[in-house]
Structure 1
Amino acid sequence: MPHTSKAKKALKSCGEDRISDLPDDILHHVLGFLQADEAVRTCLLARRWRYLWKFMRRLRINDAGRRGKSTTDVFLNKFMSYLLLLREPGSTLDEVEIEYDNLIDDRHFNYDCPWVDIWIRHALSCQAQVLTVKLHKEAHFYVCLDAPLVSQHLRRLEIYEVKLESNFLNFSSCSALEELKIKNCNLKTNRILSQSLKHLSITGSAFLSKGRICISVPNLLSLQLINYRTATPLLESMPSLETAVIRSDYNISDYCHNGVAGECCGICADCSGNDDHNGGCVLLRGLSHSRNLALIQANPRTFTFKRDLRWCPTFSKLKNLLLNDWCVQPDLRGLVSMLEHSPILENLTLQLCKQKKTISALEVEENPGLMEKPAAISGYLEIIRVKCEEDSVSRGGGELWADDGCTVP
């Protein structure tokens, strides 16, 4: 007689389906881990499961992990139309994730996809608190989102690889929105606006407006602006800001073409601030209330930080500061200016690249007084870290922000 485990004997003897005996709320939660079409298929398991999918609180609309399978918008539109139509009226959604890796648009070059917008509106009408939209681009085409969001329940929004128009980036009607993450997107707008936002991260994205995009988020606590392309955005006042990381690697607009030896000239119209902003700080004034600040710039011809120093504000709350080569090239005046305007600074980290003797080093040798501590520099300054790296781009920030949960990827 073949060996049978005790568990199998017990299951055979009782004939019970213990999973189906779980409360509805637990089964709705479990279904939320499945992709939407897989969750609907559970209606075939047993009579008990026939309508459970109508009440699940987490909706995952994606093709993640389905290698070699491409999904047309015709199939998606039809499936999602039935799914949304047949869901239980009035049932709420906690989280909605819309993600497609292998999306094929049957209209080829027309990437205005109204059905994606319909899904988003449905999610918000069901009081979704977390919304993720990740539509991987085909070549240089992006799905475009333009209609404004309206929700009193949305708390976190993540957007990847889409084109965002002006109306979509006005979050005045999302009074509960606290966290916004934008990655690898094209932003075609003049303003990002939110009164409720507390955490903002924009990574690897391009600002496509004619002038500078204005970011107006007065209640922000943390900001990450990393690897942005085109013109640096204008930051309005953020009096509650605690931690900010600004890293410019690929900026192609705030760039000096007149400098010698790869440096910003400091005197052309752009470098001196005579651009569409008509002078004044672009970044630093908006960051002046931060307690922890990282300013990292890869290209020495990018002039944003140095230009802002002409109108450098006082960083009255700043305790931790991270800078890289831009503040010591071609001389130390950038570093000195930052120190002079940080009266309670406690920790300074300099991330410098290993290279031949720089102009700044030569200037220090010729003028040792540059290394003397000016009287205006913080008396609280206790720790200065200098890190030298082989790579031409400093990637740091993690150690400095270890206690604040804000790192530079």
Structure 2
Amino acid sequence: MRCLRINYDNIQMEEPYDINKFINCLLLLREPSCTLADVELHCTLHDGGEYVDFWIRHALLCQAQMLCIYIICSEDCYVFDGPPLVSRHLRRLKLRNVEFVVNFLDFSSCSQLEDLRIENCCIGSSRILSQSVKHLVIDDCLFEDDEKTQLISVPNLISLQFIECRGRTPLFESMMSLETAVVRLNGYNDSWFWLSEECEEDICVKGHAGECCGTCAVCCGYGDHGDRCVLLEGLSSATSLELVAASRLLIFRRDLRWCPTFSKLKTLLLSEWCVQVDLRGLVCMLEHSPVLENLTLTFRKQGKTTRTLEVEGNSSLMEKPAAISGYLKIIKVECEEIDVRVCKVLKFLSILDMEIIIKRTSR
């Protein structure tokens, strides 16, 4: 059998120890010369947690090319605190419901790893490193707060999905081969945004109306985050970008102080963060995207605590940007309702002399 997929829901055994014994025998009694292609393992903490790391490393000894580990747990995550994985054959790795500490996410010794997916995990290690990964998905994860700068270094990445993650946003190093990137920072998860304390780490509590105060740790940066971009510099080589964030999150607006030039960017989607508290974010992105062809602005329904835009008092924000892509002909505006923010954005866009398409969307 080149493919092993074990789902505990389909195994009827009286004791968890029977399941552990079954999997141990299945792996350990395997003929060493019989390599594995795919290994997918669903297990719960109470019936096999202490064996998970052992099973993973044994599967890699059998030259597994695809490895999927799903930990089923109600509260705690399984903790990976051992040395980094080593494999010359592993190409795809998927991990769910685990906690990473020390240097487990250093994949420098997995030279063929191209597809990495991390879901619903707690990331306590300070680095995610790989020279070979081309497709990276980090979804529904918590980046733990500590004194170290958390960094993602995947220089040969082609596609990135960084979705609904909590805690302090990690520093992204340059990705010159990047083509597409989707970054959603709690933009569509109200329960986490309002209930999770970790989300407030990218929110300035001192600035007026959600603006950066320029003095607190969030605005000035932590460690290597200070005086440099956290996200935008690493994404600047992309041809397609989706940048979504809850309006109170500062990370994109903070990065605009060192906004890079998106020299290859042709398709861009922005959420309401780019017009909060004024239109500077939108103007800045337009001025730094010289070959932009497609622009979409998306707005969620305005909450009661969201402040309205204040642009009438600053006439310069209602003037045509000094530099704007000559390839941009159509701008799409998607919104749940036509509120004061949408009206003011449409007023600004009207001076660009372009076709504007307005689409009503449901939540």
Q: Specify the TM-score bucket, using the shorter chain as the normaliser.
A: 0.7 to 0.9
Structure 1's 164 and 275: CA in aligned 2 closer, same or farther, altered over 3 A?
closer
Of 182, 186, 189 in structure 1, the residue corresponding to residue 122 of structure 2 is: 186
Match of 2:242 in 1: 294
3-state SS, counterpart of residue 246 of structure 1:
strand
3-state SS, counterpart of residue 252 of structure 1:
helix
Structure 1's 71 and 292: CA in aligned 2 closer, same or farther, altered over 3 A?
farther
- The question of 1:252 aligning with 2:200 is answered yes
Distance in 2, matches of 1:157 and 1:122, equals 15
Of 377, 399, 406 in structure 1, the residue corresponding to residue 324 of structure 2 is: 377
- The question of 1:234 aligning with 2:171 is answered yes
How far is the alpha carbon of 1:146 from its aligned partner? 2.8
Match of 2:297 in 1: 350
Structure 1's 368 and 167: CA in aligned 2 closer, same or farther, altered over 3 A?
closer
Match of 1:86 in 2: 29
3-state SS, counterpart of residue 268 of structure 2:
strand
Match of 2:7 in 1: 62
Distance in 2, matches of 1:240 and 1:130, equals 24
Of 142, 148, 164 in structure 2, the residue corresponding to residue 206 of structure 1 is: 142
Structure 1's 71 and 260: CA in aligned 2 closer, same or farther, altered over 3 A?
farther
3-state SS, counterpart of residue 272 of structure 1:
helix
TM-score normalised by structure 1 residue count: 0.74
Q: Which amino acid aligns with 1:104?
A: H
Q: Percent identity?
A: 54
How far is the alpha carbon of 1:207 from its aligned partner? 1.3
1:325-348 deviation digits (Å, cap 9, x = unpaired): 110011000100111111111111
1:67-104 deviation digits (Å, cap 9, x = unpaired): xx68755323322222223222310111000112x552
3-state SS, counterpart of residue 116 of structure 2:
strand
- The question of 1:75 aligning with 2:18 is answered yes
Partners of 1:71 and 1:103 within 8 A in 2: no
Structure 1's 348 and 159: CA in aligned 2 closer, same or farther, altered over 3 A?
same
- The question of 1:122 aligning with 2:67 is answered no
Distance in 2, matches of 1:383 and 1:225, equals 27
TM-score normalised by structure 2 residue count: 0.83
Partners of 1:201 and 1:224 within 8 A in 2: yes
Match of 1:325 in 2: 272
Partners of 1:269 and 1:275 within 8 A in 2: no
What CA RMSD, in Å, does the superposition of the two structures yield over aligned residues?
2.3
- The question of 1:98 aligning with 2:34 is answered no
Match of 1:136 in 2: 72
3-state SS, counterpart of residue 22 of structure 2:
helix
Distance in 2, matches of 1:77 and 1:182, equals 25
- Higher-Rg structure is 1
Distance in 1, matches of 2:137 and 2:15, equals 31
1:223-258 deviation digits (Å, cap 9, x = unpaired): 111111110010001000000111111433111112
How far is the alpha carbon of 1:266 from its aligned partner? 3.6
How far is the alpha carbon of 1:367 from its aligned partner? 4.7
1:370-409 deviation digits (Å, cap 9, x = unpaired): 333223111111221001126x9xxxxxxxxxxxxxxxxx
Of 279, 285, 298 in structure 2, the residue corresponding to residue 338 of structure 1 is: 285
Q: Which amino acid aligns with 1:198?
A: K
Structure 1's 368 and 160: CA in aligned 2 closer, same or farther, altered over 3 A?
same
Match of 2:153 in 1: 216
Match of 1:173 in 2: 109
1:189-235 deviation digits (Å, cap 9, x = unpaired): 11100000000000111112523311000000001111111100100
Partners of 1:319 and 1:346 within 8 A in 2: yes
Q: Which amino acid aligns with 2:73?
A: K
Match of 1:279 in 2: 227
Partners of 1:257 and 1:301 within 8 A in 2: no
Q: Which amino acid aligns with 2:37?
A: D
Partners of 2:180 and 2:240 within 8 A in 1: yes
Q: Which amino acid aligns with 1:185?
A: C
Distance in 2, matches of 1:92 and 1:213, equals 36
3-state SS, counterpart of residue 160 of structure 2:
strand
